[in-house]
Structure 1
Amino acid sequence: MTATVTRETSADRHRPVRRRRASGHLRQERRAGWLFVAPAVIVLVVFLFAPILMAAWVSLLDWNGQSSPFSGDADFVGLDNYRNLLTEAGLLRNDFMLSVRNTLYYVLFGVAGVVVLSFVLAMAVNSYVLRGRSFFRTIFYFPAITSSVAISVLFLFLFQGAGVVNVMLSWVGVDGPSWFTDPRGVLHIVFSWFGVDAAPGALADTTLGGLSLWDWFSGPSVAMCTLIMLTVWTTSGTYMLFFLVGLQDIPVELEEATAIDGAGAWQRFRYLTLPLMRRSLVLVITLALIGSWQVFDQVFILSQGAPAKTTLTPAYISYVRSFGDGQFGVGAAVAFVLFAIIIVLTLVQRWVGRERRA
C-alpha cells in the first residue's frame, strides 16, 4: 500500500516536468513554422496587401501620380470619386455604365460559351473511342498558352473589313458586317431588318444609370461578339483540363453499371455525369466569371473601346483614367467598384451552385 502511494506521488511529481517539456517543444515547432512561412508572408504583405491598402487610400484622393500619395500634394476628396462614378451625372458615370452593360453581355455569352465548349471538348478527349487523345488535348490547350497579344492581332486581321472572314462569307453570298465600325447592338441590327430603327417611347424615356432601356437591351455590338469569340476560343482549353480531371474521377464501375441497367447515353449524362461534375462546373463558372469582368488586353489591342464605346470595360476605364488622364484616384475607385461587383457575383454564383441536401 505504501509503495503504491509512493509511485503515484512520483508520477504526479514528474507530470509538470513533462508538461513543460511538451509546451517547450510546441513553442519550438511554432517558431519553426513561422520561420518557414515568413518569406511567403512577407511577399504577400509587400506585394499584395500593402498595394491594396495603398490603392484604397489613393481612391480617396485627387492624385496625378507625380508625387507620393502620402504627401501633402495630393488632395483628399473622400468619397467624391465614388460619387462621381456611381451617382453624379456626367461622362465618367456614363462611360462606367456603358462598360458595365458591355461586360454583362460579355459575361452572359462568354461564360456560357466557354463552359459549354470546354465541357464538350473534355468529354471528347476523355472518350476511349477517340484515337490520339493526347494529341487533341495538346491542340485544344495550345491557344491558352499562346500570347494574348499575338492572338488579338491575328483576330484583328481576320475580322477587318477585307479580312479572311468577310471574304469567306462573300463566297456564300453573305455580306460580312463591319466588325469594328458598327456601334449597333446585335438586337438593334435584327430589329432594323423589320424596319425598327428608332427606340420605342417607353424604352427611350426610361433610364437606368444614365442609359435608356433601349441602350441596355441593345445586345452586344458586333465588335463585342468578336471579343467573346476570341475569349471562348483562347480559354476553353484551360477549362477543358478542369473538366477532364473531374471526368476522370468518375468511377468506371458506375458507368458500366448504369449501362448494364439499360441507361442510354443521355440518361447517363443527365443522371450520372452532371451530378458528379457539379464541383467542377462551379469552379469553372466561378473562374470564367472573374476572368470576364477583368478583361483588358483584348480590348486594348483590338478596339480600345470602339466603336462608340461598345467594347468599353471597367478594367480599360481604370487604365485610361489612371495612366492616360492622370486621374489615379478615379482609376482606383473604378478598380474597387469592379472588385465589389466580382465579389458579389461570385458569392451569388456559389450560393446558386452550392450542393443541397436531399
Structure 2
Amino acid sequence: MTATATREPSARGHGSSRRRRVSGHRLQERRAGWVFVAPAVVVLVVFLFAPIVMAAWVSLLDWNGQSSPFSGDAEFVGLDNYRNLLVDAGLLRGDFMLSVRNTLYYVLFGVTGVTVLSFALATAVNSWVLKGRGYFRTIFYFPAITSSVAISVLFLFLFQGSGVVNVMLSWVGIDGPSWFNDPRGVLHIVLSRFGMDAPPSWLADNTLGGLSLWQWVSGPSVAMCALIALTIWASSGTFMLFFLVGLQDIPIELEEAAAIDGAGAWRRFRHVTLPLMRRSVVLVITLALISSWQVFDQVFILSQGAPAKTTLTPAYISYVRSFGDGQFGVGAAVAFVLFAIIIVLTIVQRWIGRERRA
C-alpha cells in the first residue's frame, strides 16, 4: 500500500512536468513564428492597412492635399462627399453615373471577350495536334508582359487620324476620325441608320441616377469599343495560362472514355471539359471583373474621357478630382464607392458561379 501510494504522486508529477515542457515548447514556437512573420505584418500595416484607413478619413474631409489631413486646415464634412457623388444632382454625380454606365459596358463586353478568347487560346495550345505549342504559348502570352503604357501608345498610333485603322476604313468609304469621335453609342448609331434618331418618349423621360434610360441603353461608343479591344488583346495571354493549367489537370482517361462511348469533339467539350473547368472559369471571370472596374492607364493615355465623356471611368474621375482639381476628399469617396461596387459584384458573381450539389 505504501509503495503504491508513493509511486502515484510521482507519476502525476512527472505527467504535469511533461505537459509544462510541451506547453513551453509551443509557446516558443509561437514566438518564433511571430518573429518571422513580423516584417511582413509591419509592411502590410504600414503600406496597406494604414493608407486604407487614412483614405477613409480623407473621404470625410474637404482637403486639398497641401497640408496634413489631420491638421485644422482640412475641414470635416462628414458624408457630404458621398452625398454629392450619389444623391445630389450636379456635375459630379452626372460624371460618376456616366462613368458607371461606360464601365458596365466595358465589363460586359471586355470580360466576356477576354474569357472566350483566352479559353480558345488555351484549348488551341493544349491540343496535341498543334505543332510548336511552346512557340504559340510564348507569342500569345507576350502582350501580358508588355507595359500597358506601351500597348496604349501603340493603339493610339493605330487609331489616330492618319493611323492604320482610319486609313483602312477610308478604303471602304468610312471617315475614320469622325467615326471614332462620335459620342453616340453603337446602338444609337445602328438605330440612326434605320432613321430612328429621336428616342421613344418612355426612354427619354424616365431617368436612373440622373441619366435617361436612353443614355443607359446607348451601348459603348466606338472609342470605348477600341479600349475594350485593347484590353481583350492585352489580357487574354494571362488568363490563357489559368485555363491551360485547368485543361492539363483534366485526366486524359475521361476524354478517352467519352470518345470510346461515341461522343464527338463538341460533346466531349460540353459535357466533360466545361464542367471540369468551372473553377477556372469562375476565377478568370472574377479577376477580369475586378481589373475591368479599375481600368485607368488606357483611358489616361488614349482618350482622357473623350469623346464627350464616353470613355470616362470611376478610376479616372478619382484621379482627376484628386490631382487635377485638388479635391482629394471627393477622389477618396469615389475610390471607396468603386471599392464597394467591386466587392458587391464579385460576391454576386461568385454566388452565381458556385458549385451546386446534386
Shorter chain as normaliser: what TM range? Answer: over 0.9
With over 3 angstroms needed to count, the CA separation of the structure-2 counterparts of 1:103 and 1:155, relative to structure 1, is: same
RMSD: 1.3
Kept in 2: contact 1:157–1:163 (CA 8 A):
yes
Unaligned runs of 5+ in 1: none
Unaligned runs of 5+ in 2: none
Distance 1:2 1:271, change over 3 A: farther
Deviation at 1:226, TM superposition (A): 0.2
Identical columns (%): 85
Q: Distance in 2 between matches of 1:334 and 1:9?
A: 70
Secondary structure of the residue aligned to 2:178 is coil
| 1:160 lines up with 2:163 in the alignment | no
Partner amino acid for 1:273?
Answer: T
Verify the 8 A CA contact 2:85 2:93 in the aligned structure 1. Answer: yes
Cα distance in 2 for partners of 1:172, 1:181 equals 18
User: 2:39 corresponds to which residue?
Assistant: 39
Alpha-carbon contact 2:207-2:213 (below 8 Å) kept: yes
- Report deviation, 1:202: 1.1
How far off its partner does 1:163 sit?
A: 1.6
Q: 1:170 offset after TM fit, Å?
A: 3.5
Partner of residue 92, structure 1: 92
Distance in 2 between residues matched to 1:140 and 1:3, nearest whole Å: 82
2:7 and 2:319 mapped to 1: Cα distance?
77
What displacement does 1:199 show?
Answer: 1.6
Q: Structure 1, residues 158-215: CA drift from partner, whole Å, max 9, x if none?
A: 1123221122234455554635411010000001101111222111111110100110
1:284 aligned residue? 284
Q: Secondary structure at the match of 1:178?
A: helix
Where do 1:121-270 residues align within 5 Å? 121-172=121-172, 174-176=174-176, 178-270=178-270
Cα separation, partners in 2 of 1:179 and 1:69, compared to 1, 3 Å: farther
Contact 1:318–1:330 (CA under 8 A) maintained in structure 2: yes
Question: What TM-score, normalized to structure 2?
Answer: 0.97
Residues matched between the structures, number: 358
Equivalent residue letter for 2:240: M
Give the letter aligned to residue 244 of structure 1. Answer: L
> What is the CA–CA distance in structure 2 between the aligned matches of 1:240 and 1:303, rounded to whole Å?
28
1:61 maps to 61
**Residue aligning to 1:73:** 73
Letter in 1 for 2:295: V
Structure 2 distance, partners of 1:39, 1:52, is: 19
What do the CA deviations read for 1:242-295 (whole angstroms, capped 9, x no partner)?
Answer: 000000000111111111111111111111101110110010000000000000
Distance 1:293-1:119 versus aligned 2 partners, 3 A rule: same
